[in-house]
Chain A
């Protein structure tokens, strides 16, 4: 059944700790789990929640994201009764084209929110992976008579010292929020997604900006929680949640998919994760290939050894090459006798014969796109 919800995805997250990986792309466009981009998970989540109209707020380096999303066909968002709206930054009298944060971005795109006809709106960051049915969130949101309902998780893996937004929740209501605490005091982590009545959100954003606020959570939300004029509800995301905000978390969140349980949680038969297609033949195993505990996308040619790794589409592993604990993005070539360990090889990297790239486990090495070593 159709849902009365419009979706909005914000892709302007801080990316400084993702180093080279986000030099030419938004975090939302980060290649994930062998054949996806980070945004696919949020987008698929919304689609499985029967959200038919989705806006995507672009910020910097959005070329690869635009290329990925195209007309939205792969997500069935290209119809007359559904749609994907790309919202690139633009300059105007009030707006210099670069958003300070989510509040700024929402304000700039208030026209999109006004033009939408759905009663409710679901807004999400794009660098988080979680499984939720927004129809359930809206149901709880309405039942609890909340004005805005924040999604949170108790998953300890998303907690970071000095980083993140933590919620104190009493009787289903958010009573305190803390930002980037050295040590978080509350057990609930805000996952960067919320639902609200669309018209109320427009009003809230308008007024927050008018009163000089710049930040959505630090400014607007915090004020709402303090003032207690509005009811700020909370909805718990079940299962594992991943936040991708640094090289380490990028590495770990990918590697977690080697675990059968997490994989089953993220890739359910009834909720496929849609992505842009590339017509590749199945992966080929040739000769003395040895592959263990590894995810392999179509189009790979494997003649060497691969352990505990993720191979994206079209990766070539020559005889005698060894890959361990690494993420190898699309069309990389690992030549004869080359060795890679604890590395993230961006797209189209070539390692020549017998080159060895071995990083410590705790600090994966990122090799930038198109490099030949």
Chain B
């Protein structure tokens, strides 16, 4: 049976996320927990289903095990359907020429036969390291209305930061006339979000052409977009307004978690019309004890709080023992904070166990990180900015 989809999404989830240090030593970046209940990948996946896109390929490469099992059948996002759904796409051997994904464009190129099965008109390219709520269907409509070959989602960044981004310089019609990667003297402040809608035929054509160029890095930003501009294709920018955060570094991941604590939060996760779905764990409601104290915090089901939790995010099944203090911190699932331990300006990863009286981080300085399943001995002292774990 021939299937036909208007739009298929391809989610690039293969990067290592080296700037997240020990947090991505054992898992791919999109599988890193966020906001107490979520993993980073829940945002693009939920955006897809909320926007009516029910076919998503997830391209994995680096440490995919946890991501694979997290995605599973796709049921948490209603992506376990028979004519579409979510597909995990690792690099695979093609006769004698199996190879790793050499770049973002190459990853899509290697999976063109996957896309072909659905015979789509458009392909949405997403990345798995951003926290945002975005209605991709609006972007798709913009693309269709302007009869573009490629639409790039952009957002306006402060001018002083513009030189850190890939910038899309546009004419007054919103057509992209120039692409500049991290220029010293920016001509615009339209930063690319790494979210693209391609007309499928154009995508295939330029991916095939790009593969023939041995000098290409097979990257959308560096290669595909400049080539298309040179060829005179119609490239348009689509303005995204709303909260968007790249959580590619320890500091930005911590920041984005803290953003959820401000009132009102810059990204509303309570929004019943645009839910962010996640794989749920079967945990009872969290317990706030008589001795404990919780202020300005996010606390997830399964937690038991006997100590103090201030301006922090607690993921599912975190145990905070008596006299422990968790301040300005992000605690990932199943972590245990021992009696009298003090966690300040820190990220404690999944399943870590902080021994009694240990001190992690401090009032000032960079974020301290305890890696997943790390056992921190009683009384241990981890200084601000340091990382501990295997």
Contact = CB atoms under 8 A, between A and B. Distances in A.
Interface stretch (B63-71, B273-281, B377-385): B273-281
Nearest to A303: B263
B300 A34 contact: no
A36 B37 CA distance: 18
A35 B285 contact: yes
Interface string A281-311: 1111111010111111111010000000011
B12 to A, nearest CB: 24
A321 to B, nearest CB: 16
B274 to A, nearest CB: 11
Given A281-B37, A281-B269, A282-B299, A273 B282 contact: yes
A289 B294 contact: yes
Interface in A250-290: 257-258, 260, 263, 266-267, 272-275, 277, 279-287, 289
Nearest to B301: A298
B286 A295 contact: yes
Contacts of B299: 282-283, 285, 296
A297 B280 CA distance: 13
A310 B278 CA distance: 24
A282 B281 CA distance: 13
Contacts of A51: none
B282 A286 contact: no
A308 to B, nearest CB: 9
Interface residues of A, number: 39
B285 A274 contact: no
Interface in B49-80: 75-76
Contact of B37 (A273, A298, A310): A298
Contacts of A35: 284-285, 301
Interface string B282-307: 11111111101011111111000000
Specify which of A281, A296, A301 lies most central, judged by the most chain B CB atoms within 10 Å of its CB.
A281
B14 interface: no
B277 A299 contact: no
Given A35-B301, A279-B277, A282-B313, A289 B295 contact: yes
Contacts of B315: 282
Contacts of A34: 284-285
A38 to B, nearest CB: 14
B124 interface: no
B284 to A, nearest CB: 5
Contact of A293 (B275, B276, B288): B288
A249 B76 CA distance: 35
B35 interface: yes
Contacts of A273: 282, 284
Contacts of B313: 282
Nearest to B311: A285
19 contacts: A35-B301, A257-B284, A272-B282, A279-B76, A281-B270, A282-B313, A282-B315, A283-B300, A285-B298, A285-B299, A286-B263, A291-B288, A292-B292, A295-B287, A295-B288, A296-B288, A297-B301, A298-B285, A298-B301
B36 to A, nearest CB: 4
A70 to B, nearest CB: 12
Interface of B: 35-37, 75-76, 263, 269-270, 275-278, 280-290, 292, 294-301, 313-315
Which 5 pairs between the two chains have the least Cβ-Cβ distance? A34-B285, A272-B282, A282-B36, A281-B269, A282-B300
Given A292-B290, A294-B288, A298-B301, A285 B296 contact: yes
A63 interface: no
Contacts of A279: 76, 275-278, 280
B37 A292 contact: no
A291 B294 contact: yes
A361 interface: no
Nearest to B275: A279
A263 B286 contact: no
A353 B78 CA distance: 39
Specify which of A277, A282, A294 lies most central, judged by the most chain B CB atoms within 10 Å of its CB.
A282
Given A285-B296, A285-B297, A295 B289 contact: no
Interface of A: 33-36, 73, 257-258, 260, 263, 266-267, 272-275, 277, 279-287, 289, 291-299, 301, 310-312
A282 B37 contact: yes
B285 A33 contact: yes
Contacts of B284: 33-36, 257, 263, 266-267, 273, 295
Contacts of B263: 286-287
Given A287-B296, A293-B288, A281 B36 contact: yes
A301 B295 CA distance: 12
Contacts of B288: 291-296
Nearest to B295: A285
Given A73-B75, A281-B36, A281-B270, A298 B300 contact: yes
Nearest to B262: A286
Contacts of A298: 37, 285, 300-301
Contacts of B281: 272
A240 to B, nearest CB: 15
Given A36-B284, A275-B282, A292-B288, 11 more contacts: A35-B285, A258-B287, A272-B281, A272-B282, A279-B278, A283-B286, A283-B299, A285-B294, A294-B287, A295-B288, A298-B37
Given A281-B35, A285-B295, A287-B296, A311 B280 contact: no
A293 B289 contact: yes
Contacts of A277: 280
A263 B36 CA distance: 22
A274 B283 CA distance: 8
Contacts of A267: 283-284
